[in-house]
Homo-oligomer: A and B are copies of this chain.
Amino acid sequence: MTTVPPGTKAEPCARIERGQGCGVERCGLCEARAVSICNAIEEDQLSELARATTVVELAPGEVFRNEGASPEYLFNIISGSVKLFKLLADGRRAVIGFLTVGDFIGFGRPDAVPCSAEALTNVRLCRFERGKFRVLLETYPKLERRLLAVASDEVAAGQEHMTLLGRLTADERVARFLLARAEASQRLGGSSKDLELPMTRSDIADYLGLTIETVSRVFTRLRRKGLIDYKTARSVTLQDRPGLLAISEGG
In the assembled complex, the Cα of A148 lies from the Cα of B106 at a distance in Å of 12
Chain B residues, CB < 8 A from A250: 88-90, 92
Whether A224 is near chain B, meaning CB under 8 Å from some CB there, is no
Q: Which residue of B lies closest to A108 (CB)?
A: B156
- Report yes or no: A107 in contact with B206, Cβ–Cβ below 8 A: no
Whether A110 is near chain B, meaning CB under 8 Å from some CB there, is yes
- Report yes or no: B107 in contact with A163, Cβ–Cβ below 8 A: no
Cβ contacts A187-202/B at 8 Å (1 or 0 each): 0000000000000000
Number of interface residues of A (CB under 8 A): 45
- Report yes or no: B153 in contact with A109, Cβ–Cβ below 8 A: yes
In the assembled complex, the Cα of A147 lies from the Cα of B155 at a distance in Å of 13
A137 to chain B, nearest CB (A): 8
Cβ contacts A223-248/B at 8 Å (1 or 0 each): 00000000000000000000000000
Main secondary structure of the interface of A (DSSP, over half): helix
Chain B residues, CB < 8 A from A107: 151-152, 155-156
Whether A61 is near chain B, meaning CB under 8 Å from some CB there, is no
In the assembled complex, the Cα of A168 lies from the Cα of B88 at a distance in Å of 9
- Report yes or no: A159 in contact with B109, Cβ–Cβ below 8 A: no
In the assembled complex, the Cα of A86 lies from the Cα of B155 at a distance in Å of 14
- Report yes or no: B94 in contact with A163, Cβ–Cβ below 8 A: yes
- Report yes or no: B109 in contact with A166, Cβ–Cβ below 8 A: no
- Report yes or no: B209 in contact with A166, Cβ–Cβ below 8 A: yes
Pick the contact of A209 from B84, B93, B159, B167 — CB < 8 Å?
B167
Whether A162 is near chain B, meaning CB under 8 Å from some CB there, is yes
Chain B residues, CB < 8 A from A32: none
Chain B residues, CB < 8 A from A148: 137, 144, 147-148, 151
In the assembled complex, the Cα of A35 lies from the Cα of B46 at a distance in Å of 38
- Report yes or no: A92 in contact with B167, Cβ–Cβ below 8 A: yes
Chain B residues, CB < 8 A from A28: none
Chain B residues, CB < 8 A from A30: none
**Closest 9 pairs (CB-CB, A-B):** A166-B209, A158-B158, A165-B165, A151-B151, A114-B156, A94-B163, A107-B155, A108-B156, A107-B152
